[in-house]
C-alpha cells in the first residue's frame, strides 16, 4: 500500500480511507467477486464511480476487520530510520507513540509542533515518539521536515507495508503502545482540540510505566 496525493480522486480516497492501492483493490475485488458471487451484480453497475463506491465500502469493511485494535500487540515491524533499521519491538520498556504522516497532509503539519512538545516534556519519563512517513517520494518528506523539524524519531516507509500492517485508515493516525508493545489508544486525524485527550492518554501510560 502507498498513498498517492496526486492520483485520481476516487483512487486517492480509496487508498487513504481503506489502505489499498488501485492495483490491490482490483486484485482483491476478484476475491470479493468469487467469495460473494457478485459478478453479475457488479456487471450491472453502470458507472465507474458507483463501482468505486461499492468496492470502497467492501474493502473498508475488510480493512476494519483486520485493523489493529486496542488491547492487541502492535505488529512486529522494522522501521527505516536515520540510525538504520530499527525493530519496533526494540522499544519495549518504554511508552511508544507511533504516528503515521505524509508531507501533503495539513493536519500532519499541525501535529508536529505538538509532538515536539511531547518529546521534550516526556522523553526523560519514558516516552518514545516514532513518526512514520508514508510518502512514495522521500524528497517530499525531507522538504516537509526542513519546514517542520522533528525532535523525535522519523521513519520512512514508501512501500506502505507498515501502514498496511497497522491498517491505517486516516492521515495522520496514531497508536499509543504500552511498555509491552500493546496498543492502548488509537487516534485518527489531528486537531488542536484533540491534544488534551492525547496528553491524558500519554500521562496515564507513563504513570502505569512508573508503577510497573
CATH numbers and ranges of domains, the chain: 9-66 (no CATH), 78-211 (3.40.30.10)
Rg, Å, the chain Cα set = 18
What are φ and ψ of residue 72, in 5° steps?
-95, 155
How do residues 85-143 score in pLDDT, each as one tens digit?
999 999 999 999 999 999 999 999 999 999 999 999 999 999 999 999 999 999 999 99
Q: What is the pTM of this model?
A: 0.72
pLDDT band (50, 70, 90) for residue 181: very high
| DSSP H helical ranges for the chain | 9-18, 22-36, 39-43, 48-66, 106-122, 138-147, 161-166, 195-211
Mean pLDDT over each residue of the chain, to the nearest integer? 80
Amino acid at each position: 500500500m502507498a498513498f498517492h496525493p496526486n492520483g485520481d480522486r476516487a483512487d486517492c480516497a480509496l487508498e487513504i480511507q481503506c489502505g489499498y492501492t488501485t492495483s490491490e483493490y482490483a486484485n482483491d475485488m476478484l476475491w470479493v467477486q468469487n467469495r460473494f458471487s457478485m459478478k453479475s451484480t457488479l456487471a450491472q453497475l453502470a458507472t465507474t464511480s458507483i463501482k468505486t463506491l461499492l468496492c470502497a465500502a467492501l474493502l473498508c469493511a475488510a480493512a476494519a476487520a483486520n485493523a489493529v485494535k486496542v488491547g492487541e500487540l502492535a505488529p512486529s515491524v522494522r522501521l527505516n530510520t536515520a540510525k538504520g533499521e530499527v525493530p519496533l519491538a526494540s522499544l519495549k520498556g518504554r511508552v511508544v507513540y507511533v504516528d503515521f504522516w505524509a508531507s501533503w497532509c495539513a493536519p500532519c503539519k499541525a501535529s508536529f509542533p505538538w509532538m515536539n512538545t511531547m518529546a521534550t516534556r516526556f522523553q526523560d519519563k519514558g516516552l518514545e515518539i516514532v513518526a512514520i512517513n508514508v510518502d512514495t517520494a522521500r524528497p517530499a518528506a525531507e522538504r516537509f521536515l526542513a519546514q517542520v523539524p522533528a525532535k523525535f524519531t522519523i521513519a520512512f516507509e514508501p512501500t506502505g507495508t507498515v501502514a498496511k500492517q497497522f491498517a491505517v485508515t486516516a492521515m495522520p493516525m496514531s497508536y499509543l503502545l504500552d511498555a509491552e508493545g500493546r496498543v492502548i489508544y488509537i487516534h485518527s486525524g489531528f486537531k488542536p482540540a484533540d491534544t488534551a485527550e492525547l496528553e491524558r492518554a500519554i500521562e496515564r501510560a507513563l504513570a502505569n510505566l512508573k508503577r510497573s
